[in-house]
Amino acid sequence: MEILTIVLAGLFAVIAPAGVLLEGVLSNYICSNIHSAEKIALRIDNKPSYAIISGHLDHLRIATRGIEPIEDIRLDVLELESDPVDIDLGTLRAGNLRQSLRHSLQGALRIELKQSDLNKALASAKIKNKIEQLLPKEITKQFAIVQINSKFLADNKISLNLQLKQIEDGRLWNLTLESKLKIIGGHTLQLVEPVGSLNGRKLSAKLLKNVVDGLNPQLDLTRLEKNGITARVLQLKLEDGLLRLAFFVRLNPLST
């Protein structure tokens, strides 16, 4: 969600002294706060146009292609469309976005993630270490992750293949996990109906449950609510090496 925060924080931070918000300046602002982007297109609508001086904006649309919010985390598509925005510019310039909101800031967010880009991310040491922390202790006490690969399957299923190295003798093992990705309650993505094997031998139901229980909390969007962000999943589709997600997202004002 970092990229969403960057975009929202940049909406009015780049207003020129004369009260003009330039789309190109906003593009540059976004680029300066992320790792990279192949393309950023913006459309800003406001009637009357001078209302932006008081911190009001009718509509903003941001469409990006090949964006890396941070290194090795690439999204093929990220698009954001906002509802009307109303912000106290003086408070925003002091550095607090949520406190500057006169009312909730909300809109639609759409993301497309390629299987190849996910695998690139999984190859990074940072992501491997994070996944290692989520695995059950029964596994991490004996094994270290060497490599991770993913595959998007039909019926909203995803498979993960982990090559593990046994800490004691360096022997290599293959851990395979396959699960359906499902929307639960609109606010949670969950791995359901999991199956798995270790070197071709079926994982016990208990161990498999422990693996999934470690991963599922990371997909619960209610974790964002402590930062004032409400998110709901509107669409989930896995097909042809591509994951498509659409969200409703709201940033709530900071309580006073």
pLDDT (0 to 100) of residue 20:
47
pLDDT (0 to 100) of residue 87:
83
Closest CA to 64 of 119, 6, 121: 6
pLDDT (0 to 100) of residue 14:
56
Pairing of strands 157-166, 188-198: unpaired
pLDDT (0 to 100) of residue 98:
84
pLDDT (0 to 100) of residue 96:
72
Domain ranges of the chain: 2-115+221-251, 117-219
Q: What is the pLDDT along the chain (256 residues), one digit of tens a residue?
A: 455 455 555 555 555 444 445 466 566 667 777 888 899 888 878 887 777 778 888 888 889 999 998 888 899 999 999 899 888 877 777 767 788 889 998 999 999 999 999 999 999 988 888 888 888 888 889 999 999 999 999 899 999 999 999 999 999 999 999 999 999 999 999 999 999 999 999 999 988 998 899 899 999 999 999 989 999 999 999 988 999 999 999 989 987 4
CA distance 22 to 12: 10
pLDDT (0 to 100) of residue 16:
46
pLDDT (0 to 100) of residue 9:
57
Closest CA to 207 of 181, 180, 170, 175: 175
Q: How far lies 168's CA from each of 67, 139, 140, 143, 165, in Å?
A: 41, 13, 12, 8, 9
Contacts for 226 with CB less than 8 Å, ≥ 6 apart: none
The DSSP line for 12-47 is HHT--TTS---HHHHHHHHHHTSSEEEEEEEEEE-S
Q: Are 196 and 172 in contact (CB under 8 A)?
A: no
Kindly state the tokens that stand for 44: 């800003």
Kindly state the tokens that stand for 136: 């059950």
